A and B are shown apart, each in its own frame.
Chain A
Amino acid sequence: MIPIEVFLTFILVLSIFLGFELINKVPATLHTPLMSGANAISGITLVGAVGLVGTGDGDPSKWLAVGAVALASINVVGGYLVTDRMLSMFKKKG
């Protein structure tokens, strides 16, 4: 059985290489939507935050996590919507 830290590090390294390959192919004209789309994806913290909103109201961690849910939701919702709004404006000639 691989220790979890090693497993997660493995995922990290592979994803970084994959990220470089993918992003290098994005043309300069789409760099702003790429950044706002990246904003949206970095809202993935929402997934981590959801799991920490426990049922014990006396637990300060819960309230930190609720704050994280709200902030990450701004990124997810706002990021995807504004990226879509921008990309809808990109048109080819003719």
Chain B
Amino acid sequence: MESFIQYAYVAAAVLFIFGLKQLGSPATARRGNLISSSGMLVAVVAALLSQGIDYTWILIGFAIGGAIGAAAARLVQMTSMPEMVALFNGFGGMASLLVGTAALSPAAGTFTLVTIVLSILIGGLTFTGSLVAYGKLSEKITSAPILFGAQQMVNGAIIAAILVSAVLFCINPDNTVWLVLVVALSLIFGVMAVIPIGGADMPVVISLLNSYSGLAACAAGFAVDNNILIVAGSLVGSAGIILTQIMCKAMNRSLSNVLFSGFGSGKTETTEVDGEIKPISVEDAFYVLEAASTVAIIPGYGMAVAQAQHVVKELTELLEGNGAEVNFGIHPVAGRMPGHMNVLLAEADVPYDQLLEMDDINPRMETVDVAIVIGANDVVNPAAREIESSPIYGMPVINVDSARTVFVLKRSMASGFAGIENPLFYKDNTRMLFGDAKESIGGLVREFGS
């Protein structure tokens, strides 16, 4: 029976790999997810064949978790996906912490003890780190970086204490004090690691925590000698690392800068920007749009906040009906998680081939008649190219200022998350359309109708 179970795990691994491979194209992705889930089914059924386990309690646990998961999956709004992924990262981390702890037995050798410590450490910090990330994303706690004087020293002390208790635990596993200390310190460290990171950097943080939840599963796999946990955990781990790299590159920042610098903590620099703000009314914006033959729409987190994706789709259809070519330009860090904008627009029935990546839309920006910026700020900030003293200098941005006319939809003149002045707003070809994005676009849609 044992070798049958192991072969079933091999089959599960193959299914996971094929599933991820099919995620390589939107056309096959849904099937890929189905294949991946059947891999999970095979692995779980195989695990249930092991001897001496209590089916009643497994079923109870599964029923509770499954019901919560199913309800969350059905009810979550697409704008809230970052929060949901953050929470799920946390649950994955906690599950690994519990498995690591439960795997502790008097027979455990040093190698197993080390892997138990790792699953507790990674799992614990993933859990609390994800809860803090969830709090910041859902604005239950302030999304601004929380910084205090001796932060680096306190964190250093926590890391040192974790190392000491971990070593003492491995030497002396019967003394539960060290175990409890490792658990407690890991949980504290997760909080400390995420509070200094600002809301705009959340795409990096949830990618990284995603990676950690996989690595925690990996460590738990070592603790219980189970290779399917290691395979699946490291697939997730590498996915998270790749996304983290992409996000950092898209912000032209190193990972350590994101994690430790408290970026955007309110140190507003004072770059003098020449020119003046030129507001435009919905009516005038409509006349410009009516004459446009190419339109580019650049969405940002503000579109998600205003829930404007459906009305944006309506406007797109009207523009296309009017003979214009409409494309969307999606910056990799637009929104609060990788791919956030794409999901919102997919929800509003915008076809995915109309969504262009930054490197595809930039070369055609000069031929665009009107670029409409909806709730995006830093990702279209020309200061990244022009002003060397700007904190975002060097970050790749969507060059909307090369378009003939730029409409910026914005609530007010408050600066973006990073508190950085945006010279785009003062350019000759920029017109500001103030107000709630959903209402402004709704107004344009009505103008087209009348």
Report A-chain residues with C-beta under 8 Å of the C-beta of B37: 40, 80
Report B-chain residues with C-beta under 8 Å of the C-beta of A38: 210, 213-214, 235-236, 239-240
Report A-chain residues with C-beta under 8 Å of the C-beta of B76: 82
Q: In the complex the two chains form, what is the Cα distance from A80 to B85 in whole Å?
A: 12
**Most B-side CB within 10 Å, residue of A7, A28, A85:** A28
Report A-chain residues with C-beta under 8 Å of the C-beta of B330: 28-29
Chain B interface extent, by class: 35 or more
- Flag whether A26 is at the interface (Cβ < 8 A): yes
Is A73 within 8 A of B53, CB to CB?
no
Is B40 within 8 A of A73, CB to CB?
no
Counted as pairs of residues, one from A and one from B, with CB atoms less than 8 Å apart, the total is 360
Q: In the complex the two chains form, what is the Cα distance from A28 to B33 in whole Å?
A: 17
Is A19 within 8 A of B355, CB to CB?
no
User: Per DSSP, are chain A's interface residues mostly helix, strand or loop, or mixed?
Assistant: helix
Is B237 within 8 A of A36, CB to CB?
no
Known contacts A47-B228, A67-B61, A90-B26; A32/B337 CB under 8 A: yes
Report A-chain residues with C-beta under 8 Å of the C-beta of B346: 86, 89-91
Q: Nearest chain-A residue to B232 (Cβ)?
A: A44
- Flag whether B72 is at the interface (Cβ < 8 A): yes
Q: In the complex the two chains form, what is the Cα distance from A88 to B61 in whole Å?
A: 29
Q: In the complex the two chains form, what is the Cα distance from A48 to B26 in whole Å?
A: 32
Stretch from B44-52, B283-291, B439-447 that touches the partner = B44-52
- Flag whether B147 is at the interface (Cβ < 8 A): no
Is A41 within 8 A of B36, CB to CB?
yes
Known contacts A36-B84, A55-B52, A73-B69; A12/B99 CB under 8 A: no
In the complex, chain B residues 12-53 whose Cβ is within 8 Å of any chain A Cβ: 16-17, 19-21, 23-27, 29-30, 33-34, 36-37, 40, 43-44, 46-48, 50, 52-53
Question: In the complex, how many angstroms separate the beta carbon of B41 from the nearest chain A beta carbon?
Answer: 9
Report A-chain residues with C-beta under 8 Å of the C-beta of B246: 28, 31
In the complex, chain B residues 266-289 whose Cβ is within 8 Å of any chain A Cβ: none
- Flag whether B218 is at the interface (Cβ < 8 A): yes
Question: In the complex, how many angstroms separate the beta carbon of A39 from the nearest chain B beta carbon?
Answer: 4
Is B62 within 8 A of A32, CB to CB?
no
Report A-chain residues with C-beta under 8 Å of the C-beta of B74: 81, 85
Q: Nearest chain-B residue to A55 (Cβ)?
A: B54
A residues adjacent to B (C-beta < 8 A) = 4-5, 7-8, 11-12, 15-16, 18-20, 22-55, 61-62, 64-94
